[in-house]
A and B are shown apart, each in its own frame.
Chain A
Amino acid sequence: MSPSGEIQVQHLWKRFKADHRLLLRDETQRILAKLRKRPEEGWRWVLRDINLKIAPGESVGLIGINGSGKTTLLKLMSKVMFPYSGSVEYSGRVGALLGVVAGLHHDLSGRENVYIYGSLLGWKRKDIAQRFEEIVHFAELGPAIDRQVKFYSSGMQMRLAFSIASMLDPQILLVDEVLAVGDASFQQKSLARMREVLHQGATLVYVSHDLATVQAMCKRCIWLNNGIIEMDGPTEEVIESYLLSLEGLISIATHSSSEATLENISITGKAGAPKTGEEVTIELLLSSRDAANSKCYLGIGQTPITPSFVVSSPVTLSIGINSLTCQLDSLPVPGGTAFIWLGLLGPGDDPILQFQVVGQFEISGSPHLDYPEGVVISSPLYIDSHWTQHFTKSG
């Protein structure tokens, strides 16, 4: 008997019909093909030979692009789906938060739903009664609990469903993208609640596209790509590799337009390589075909999805090569790979150069910033910058 909370996945394969739902038609075709010993057609492997072992109390993030098999793996783990081949074994009580809102019935009141959804999740009625107040309080519903759920906003439904589902004390918690709805404060609350479950010794498997929360919740991370495990290791490393691979997916358009071209961009620290917390200098060479009053935006971030901060300055472009220097007193980005963004807007916010990733560089320094586990930083920052500009030569 494996210790409670352990999950073991061995040689897991799963396939779906590629283009439509599986119907009896397909079953008969499948049997016919089998009888004629012809290869079966139109199936797509969603998971291919997945082997995993998750220890009790471990928190594991599952990441990957859409269609990489994350949700399918989670459904197989929760035994909602059966595998094509291989096995999933676990011990202990499983709480699966897969699309939690689905468990609510719209014609019933919030109160009735608490009881019925709770029983659906395997609770005893008197346990629910005991925690009823706690659930309503956590969901911030107040008197609305006696209203029919169809009159709830989607945020309220989400809060109610999450509150019910997370109040049970599972030994294994499987979570699929539950935080998609709900406002920021409730997202924080639900993250806190998940951490609490973790602290009680539960095993967590968390699927999300929100890498920041994965980083906050999970020590280990598994990157699924096309149905196979691309990488399995410490969250920081896996996310970094994942982001690097994503960058290849984002098509980087040419950094030039009919009006201007970015000739060169460089970023240097005091002693060569840029370093966290130290002064950095960004140098740009722009060739312009027009003289224009414009505004230059520079951003730096750890992901090619969104910059951590953006600085800007008015710039007077002349015809020919323009040199621009931007200096930051202290680079506020932790160590690791970072991306630099550039955009130029002409009068009337007419884009001369679209704001986009123009390069990638390494920052030396600790990849860890010190803040409490689970905190997601997402508010804009003001960063001081000093700009200088000079005209180099006529085009």
Chain B
Amino acid sequence: MTDIVDQPLGPPRELRFRRKLSFRVYVSELLGAKGLLRALSEREIRVRYKQAYLGIAWSLLSPTVLMVVFTVLSAHSIINISTHGKPAYLFAYAGLIPWTFFTNAVSQGGMSLVSNLYLVNKIYCPREVFPLSYIIVSCIDGLISSLLLIVLFAIGHTLPSETIYWLPILFVFELIFTIAVVVTTSILVVYMRDLRHLIPIVIQFGLFATPVMYSITTLSPSIRGVYSILNPLGPIIDSMRQALLFNQGPEWNLLAFAIPSSLLYLVIGYIIFKKLEVRVADVA
């Protein structure tokens, strides 16, 4: 067999395959892959709990441990963070549920294409089903860890605020940002494997850069707008806690920055994903 490395000849330019960006086509393809999405999520959940002794309880572990640490530290005044009159464990846990959802989705969904390359290589489908399926799994984990809230409210002898009805809407905002981050990360990791080592570091940093265990009012008012654009998760998580514990509606003045920027991240991330998706099967 003769090797044809560096062969000068190639196809005429006008025949080059160019992927047209058509969101209409993407959405209809994605809707056609609903069954696949369900199957992948179901598989992930089954595999996760197949050989784990603690099973479902694992979803509770990470937010619970962080909550206990926070509670102990603030009880001994090692850290001094205002919980605005609410028990520290409730204050922390209310922020930790949406945060854990986000980090689970990013750390697992970010790796989804790489860990499923054997399928990416063999089965034709819109590839975003892989990151999306892990987001679904993280949603379920999040729901399970929310159950502990009931216990915590009982311990604190309090009830959730009336404004709790804002939570689903705020969660949709969080979902938009999460999809943007997960989809972008998943495709970049395929091309840049080193990135996988960066993900946990960024997540650890994010725990401190996001008002999970402190209130967003800690930040000086002058930078809150810019901060909301850079980290939309901040006002979203803070608003969730406000709605759950403090009987306050969403902080629209900050969300007005956070929501458009999340949408922008999503559009940019999705375009990057679709552009780079073309050569994913070649990389594997």
- Point out residues on A near B: beta carbons under 8 Å: 11, 13, 15-16, 18, 21-24, 27, 39, 41-45, 48-49, 65, 67-68, 75, 78-87, 94, 96, 98-99, 102-103, 105, 107-108, 112, 115-116, 118-125, 226-227
Contact = CB atoms under 8 A, between A and B. Distances in A.
B10 A107 contact: no
Given A21-B283, A102-B119, A13 B191 contact: no
22 contacts: A11-B11, A13-B11, A15-B10, A16-B282, A21-B284, A22-B282, A39-B6, A42-B6, A65-B1, A82-B278, A85-B12, A86-B15, A94-B124, A99-B121, A102-B121, A107-B50, A112-B43, A116-B43, A119-B35, A120-B39, A124-B35, A226-B1
A116 B11 contact: no
Interface of B: 1-12, 15-17, 19, 35-36, 38-40, 42-43, 46-47, 50-51, 118-124, 191-193, 278-279, 281-284
Top 6 A-B pairs, shortest CB-CB distance: A119-B39, A85-B11, A85-B15, A13-B11, A81-B281, A24-B191
B124 A82 contact: no
B117 to A, nearest CB: 10
Given A11-B11, A108-B43, A123-B35, A96 B282 contact: no
A75 B281 contact: yes
Contacts of A23: 191-193, 283
Given A96-B122, A103-B123, A116-B42, A82 B19 contact: yes
A79 B119 CA distance: 13
Contacts of B38: 119
A86 B35 contact: no
Contacts of A42: 5-6
A311 B279 CA distance: 54
Given A80-B121, A227-B4, A122 B10 contact: no
Nearest to A44: B5
Task: Name the residue in A18, A48, A96, A119 with the highest tally of chain B Cβ atoms < 10 Å from its Cβ.
Answer: A119
A232 B40 CA distance: 40
B43 A105 contact: yes
Contacts of A103: 119, 122-123
B124 to A, nearest CB: 5
Contacts of B120: 80
Given A44-B4, A85-B17, A105-B47, 7 more contacts: A22-B191, A22-B279, A23-B192, A82-B279, A112-B43, A119-B36, A119-B38
B186 to A, nearest CB: 14
Contacts of B283: 21-23
Contacts of B43: 105, 108, 112, 116
Given A86-B15, A112-B46, A116-B43, A80 B192 contact: no
A43 B4 CA distance: 9
Contacts of B281: 75, 80-82
Contacts of A79: 124
Nearest to B13: A85
A43 B6 contact: yes
Nearest to B39: A119
B123 A84 contact: no
Task: Name the residue in A87, A112, A122 with the highest tally of chain B Cβ atoms < 10 Å from its Cβ.
Answer: A122
Contact of B15 (A11, A18, A22, A96): A11
Nearest to B6: A41
Contacts of B118: 102
A45 B4 contact: yes
A102 B12 CA distance: 36
Contacts of A99: 121-122
B48 to A, nearest CB: 9
B162 to A, nearest CB: 40
A39 B8 contact: yes
A124 B11 CA distance: 41
A167 to B, nearest CB: 16
Contacts of B7: 44-45
A24 B272 CA distance: 13
Contacts of B12: 85
B124 A78 contact: yes
A44 B3 contact: yes
Contacts of B282: 16, 22, 81
